[in-house]
Structures are given as C-alpha cells and as structure tokens.
C-alpha cells in the first residue's frame, strides 16, 4: 500500500465527523424500527450522548473502535504514534468521566462499539440493545412491596376481595 502524504492524511481525518456516522445510523434505524423513540446529541447532558431515551433514562454512545481505543480492534498508526496514543487515552478517560457523571444523575449508559455493528453481529447487537432497554424499563417500573389483590370466587365469577376496594 503506498504511503499517503501528510496533506492527504490531514484531509482524510478532517472528513470524519462525530454526528450521523454510519454505525450511529444503523443503531438509530434499528431502535426506531423496534418502536424506541429518542433524542439526538442532547446538549443538556454531559458528553452529548449520541442518543437519549428519556423514557428509559438511558444514554447510548456509539463509539468508533479507533477513536475510543476499543481493545482488540484499535490499531494505532505508526505515524505520529505518541500523539495518537495520548489522544485515544484522553478520549477513554473522558468517556469514563462522562459515564460517571451521567450515572450520578441517575442515567443508564450503554456503549455500542463500531465492530459490534458489522453485518455478522448487527442483528444480535440490536436485539441485545432492545432487550436491555426493556429490562431497564421493567426494573424502573416494578411494583415492589404491593402484592396483587386476592381474588375470591363468587357464583362462578371472580371478584376482588371487599377489603381491597
């Protein structure tokens, strides 16, 4: 593979955006098709999560494996290696700080990695995400300490016990 000039590398890197990336669009379409509704890049929350599902008090971050240093996926370039190591490490530290702040505010955080959205894993990842969101909602809305009313049978019909009414 021919070496790219510094100018070409700069142009390639400048073309990469942080919003509406292909992995993010895959997750958004998957959630929308399953009936989940969300807000994008909320400026009111720390870290400006990619998606915010207020009903579930959940923030979703769709991280690129390279930019956020996903273990096993991230291949650091040999050119200007010290810069990239420091940059990726700082991104990872910022991710942890952001998620801690969101957790302190009572928000759930889900991180989806770019490699989990490859065609071979995509459907399983989206199913797992939907399962997790539904589990969060059920746990948040569980009726704890309130037993179901006792039912009594009267003339072949069920009715709630008088004392429960």
pLDDT tens for each residue of 44-79:
899 899 999 999 999 999 998 888 889 888 888 888
What are the strands of the beta sheet with 108-113, ordered from one edge?
Answer: 39-40, 51-53, 58-63, 108-113
Domain ranges of the chain: 17-141
How high is the pLDDT of residue 73?
85
Other beta carbons within 10 angstroms of residue 105's beta carbon come to 11
Contact at 8 Å (CB) between 53 and 41?
A: no
CATH T-level topology, domain 17-141: Endonuclease; Chain A (3.40.960)
pLDDT, position 3: 73
The set of long-range contacts for 6-14, using a CB threshold of 8 Å and a minimum separation of 24, is 9/79
Element holding 121 (H helix, E strand): helix 119-140
Which mean pLDDT values do the consecutive 10-residue runs of the chain (165 residues) have? Answer: 68 64 91 93 90 94 90 85 92 95 94 93 94 90 68 59 49
Cβ contact 52:39 at 8 Å? yes
């Amino acid at each position: 593979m021919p070496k790219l000039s510094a100018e070409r590398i700069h142009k390639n890197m400048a073309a990469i955006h942080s919003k509406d990336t292909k992995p993010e669009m895959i997750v958004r379409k998957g959630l929308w098709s399953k009936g989940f509704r969300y807000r994008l890049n909320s400026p009111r929350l720390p870290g400006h999560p990619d998606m915010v599902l207020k009903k579930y008090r959940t923030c979703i971050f769709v991280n690129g494996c390279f930019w956020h240093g996903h273990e096993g996926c991230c291949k650091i370039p040999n050119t200007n290696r010290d810069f990239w190591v420091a940059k990726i490490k700082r991104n990872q530290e910022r991710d942890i700080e952001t998620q801690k702040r969101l957790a302190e505010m009572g928000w759930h955080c889900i991180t989806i990695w770019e490699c989990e959205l490859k065609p071979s894993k995509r459907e399983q990842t989206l199913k797992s995400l939907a399962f997790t969101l539904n589990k969060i909602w059920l746990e948040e809305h569980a009726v704890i300490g309130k037993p179901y009313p006792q039912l009594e049978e009267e003339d072949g019909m069920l009715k709630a016990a008088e004392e429960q009414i």
